[in-house]
Amino acid sequence: MELLSDQGLRVDGRRAHELRNVECRLGVFGRADGSAYLEQGNTRVLATVYGPHEARAAQRRHDVASINCQYRQAVFSGWERGRRAGGGGDRRAQELGALLQNTLESVVLVELYPRSQIDVYVQVLQADGGTYATCVNAATLALIDAGVALRDYVCACSASVLRDQPLVDLNSLETSGAPELTAALLPRSGRLPLLEMSQRFHVDKLGELLDVAETACRDVHTILNRAVRRHVSARSSEK
């Protein structure tokens, strides 16, 4: 099966620069302080935020809030049944949780919430490529829903280069066939709080790949921004 046909179409019929269909909903769970459900193609992620609340003694910092992130992937989310999460997940899950914490620390105005803790829990319900990028986007939406003060949106997207053609927003089939770069962008300042890639890749193509990833992240930002505004106006018109 060809990941990229001669006409420039991918396996799911998209063009190289097109994102998958995005569906998002904020405030899905009334009990949590903030929650968001995000679908990018067949990847479905749920993010929940509790806080800011009083920090546990070990995590309390006198001048800033501490952010605690947990990444979990449901056992039935992949094509193969995943290993059951023991004490919160295997090493990959812990690594992604720590990565998410570093990414969010760059946008949350932690100076406004000293001695408190913000818990961000991300649960992957269905994984079909670009999972980590979807998690970052969902976490941003959940933080906005919780009313936590943010410097900017964090918009993430995955990108790759296949036969000299840059692709964005990979699905799981494409991830197994090409190296995957995950990038997150702060749209207002144009800065990148996150760049992650773990496969072999030629450095000459990096510049082009970063440009393509940045454009894709800005497209994601447009979609998320629209969703947030829609949600806020729906909430305010209810009252």
Measured distance CA(9)–CA(5) in Å, rounded:
5
CB of 238: closest distance to other proteins in angstroms?
Answer: 17
CB burial string 167-189: b at 16+ within 10 A, e below: bbbbbbebbebbbbbbbbbbbee
Largest CA distance in the chain: 59
DSSP state letter for 204: G
Min dist CB 101 to other proteins, Å, is 13
The dihedral built from the CA positions of residue 131, 92, 103 and 207, taken in this order, carries a sign that is negative
Stretch that binds other proteins, among 59-67, 71-79, 181-189, 210-218 (CB under 8 A): 71-79
Tell me the β-bridge partners of 181.
159, 197
Query: CB of 231: closest distance to other proteins in angstroms?
Result: 18
Question: Is-contact 141 227, C-beta < 8 A?
Answer: yes
Element (DSSP H or E) covering residue 238: helix 206-238
**Of 134, 222, 122, whose CA–CA distance to 175 is shortest?**
134
As measured in angstroms, the least distance from the Cβ of 83 to other proteins is 12
Q: Which of residues 33-52 bind other proteins (CB under 8 A)?
A: 42, 44, 46, 48, 50
Q: Is 37 helix (H, G, I), strand (E, B) or coil?
A: strand
The residue range among 68-76, 145-153, 157-165, 201-209 that interacts with other proteins, by the rule CB under 8 A, is: 68-76
Instruction: Kindly write out the interface string for residues 13-32 of this chain, putting x where it contacts other proteins by CB under 8 A and - elsewhere.
Output: ----------------xxxx
CB of 78 to other proteins, least distance (A): 6
* Dihedral class, residue 29 (left if φ above 0, else alpha if ψ from -120 to 50, else beta): beta
Q: Give the interface segment with other proteins, choosing from 75-83, 99-107, 187-195, 212-220 (CB under 8 A).
A: 75-83
**Looking at 6, 79, 164, 238, which residue binds other proteins (CB under 8 A)?**
79
**Interactions with other proteins, residue window 88-127 (CB under 8 A):** 88, 119, 121, 123, 125-127
53 versus 235: smaller Cβ distance to other proteins: 53
Sites of contact with other proteins (CB under 8 A): 29-32, 42, 44, 46, 48, 50, 53, 70, 72, 74-79, 81, 84-88, 119, 121, 123, 125-128
